[in-house]
Amino acid sequence: MKLFSNKRLILSLISLIIMIALMGVTLGNRGTVTWPEKMIQDTVAWVQGLIYKPAGYIAGFFEDIGNLGRLYEENKTLKRTLSHYARDTARLNVLIAENERLKEALRFTERQKLSDQLVYQIARVVAVNQDSSNNVFKIDLGERDGIRPDLPVITTDGLIGRVIRVSEFSSNVLMLTDINDQSLKSRGISVTSLQHPDSFGVIESYDHETGYLIMSKIKQEDPLQIGDTIVTSGLGEAYPAGLIVGTVVSRQEGSFGITHVAEIKPAADLSMNGLREVFVVQNAWDVANR
């Protein structure tokens, strides 16, 4: 039995070349999004949202029934945290007022003041791609709502990814799990520790086997300790400062013995299951000058 005749062989070879060329050209960020792509993205995202959201409500209803038993305990804990919260707020207000006054005294420009403030835009998830190497989900905010590529996306627990592709009314978000130091197009996130603000490191990859993020380029004399909360440092300019990433679970020497490497347990659930609402984070200056 002949699988390929001569004409077919040539035809399939040509299509093979075209496909590989297409993949090579579109690898990584391709710049502008063409209008047919935008049209398909938006139309299908709308239809997907029609199914995803109601299915989420139904799933949420069953989840709530399952959670009923735990409500009493949760309520007690929440009341305790609330009292802490009230105390912290009073202190925070004093600090904010002082910060404002000092910024005024030091003649901070309007841009500098606004770029320290963050704006959280809530977005609803409309579809999730189930593919372990291409963890992408779609949200219902797009260019019209001021979304740009590379904006960080968080849940209430912490950082989960960044916007990768934007069309008029919807955008694609790439999960943090796809960060990979072997890939040419992947980008690291510069982070620091909340307890030791002098600390510096870069999150460059994700270990699929352990489920931990890998923070590298830590100096040997760095004050970072196990148990520290890791937040973005804002030094890379792409991510604003202060977004929670996770907690340190281990720290050891890197493969060359020059710098240290730490494993970070992500604060947010990175499995993409049960994603409903996420927040897109921008600084206030960008929003004001949209």
Partner 1 sequence: MIWYKHLLWLTLWVLFLLESSLMPWLLPGSIGDMEMTIAAHFAFVLILYIGIYLNRRLAIGMALAFGLLHDVLFYGHVLGAYTFSMCLTTYVISMLLRDTHVSWYTGLGSITLSIVAFDYLVFGLYTLFQITSVSPWWYLMHAALPTLLLNMIFASAIYYPVIQIFARIEKFVAPQEAEDYKAESP
Where along the sequence are the contacts to partner 1 (CB under 8 A)? Answer: 1, 3, 12, 15, 19-20, 22-24, 26-28, 37, 40-41, 44-45, 47-49, 51-52, 55-56, 58-59, 126-136, 138, 164-165, 172, 174, 178, 180, 182-185, 208-209, 211, 271-275
Angstrom distance (rounded) from CA 209 to CA 276:
26
Instruction: State the nearest-atom distance from the C-beta of 73 to partner 1, in Å.
Output: 23
* Residue whose CB is less far from partner 1, 20 or 288: 20
Instruction: State the nearest-atom distance from the C-beta of 16 to partner 1, in Å.
Output: 8
* Residue whose CB is less far from partner 1, 169 or 200: 169
* Residue whose CB is less far from partner 1, 83 or 273: 273
Instruction: State the nearest-atom distance from the C-beta of 40 to partner 1, in Å.
Output: 5
Both tokens assigned to 94: 């004093």
Kindly report the backbone phi and psi dihedral angles of residue 34, in degrees, each rounded to the nearest multiple of 5, phi listed first: -75, 160
Angstrom distance (rounded) from CA 151 to CA 161:
9
Instruction: State the nearest-atom distance from the C-beta of 116 to partner 1, in Å.
Output: 31
* Residue whose CB is less far from partner 1, 3 or 65: 3
Instruction: State the nearest-atom distance from the C-beta of 289 to partner 1, in Å.
Output: 28
Instruction: State the nearest-atom distance from the C-beta of 4 to partner 1, in Å.
Output: 8
* Residue whose CB is less far from partner 1, 45 or 231: 45
Both tokens assigned to 14: 């040509």
Q: Is 185 helix (H, G, I), strand (E, B) or coil?
A: coil
* Residue whose CB is less far from partner 1, 23 or 90: 23
* Residue whose CB is less far from partner 1, 137 or 200: 137
Cα→Cα distances 105→43, 108, 143, 174, 200, Å: 51, 8, 37, 41, 29
Instruction: State the nearest-atom distance from the C-beta of 58 to partner 1, in Å.
Output: 8
The residue among 108, 142, 137 whose CA lies nearest residue 125 is 137
* Residue whose CB is less far from partner 1, 54 or 223: 54
DSSP string, 81-139: HHHHHHHHHHHHHHHHHHHHHHHHHTT--HHHHHTTSEEEEEEEEEEE---TT--EEEE
The residue among 102, 147, 83, 94 whose CA lies nearest residue 120 is 147
Residue 176 in contact with residue 157, Cβ under 8 Å? Answer: no
Residue 205 in contact with residue 164, Cβ under 8 Å? Answer: no
Q: Please count the CA atoms within 13 angstroms of the CA of 24 that sit on its side-chain side.
A: 6
Angstrom distance (rounded) from CA 101 to CA 266:
36
Instruction: State the nearest-atom distance from the C-beta of 220 to partner 1, in Å.
Output: 27
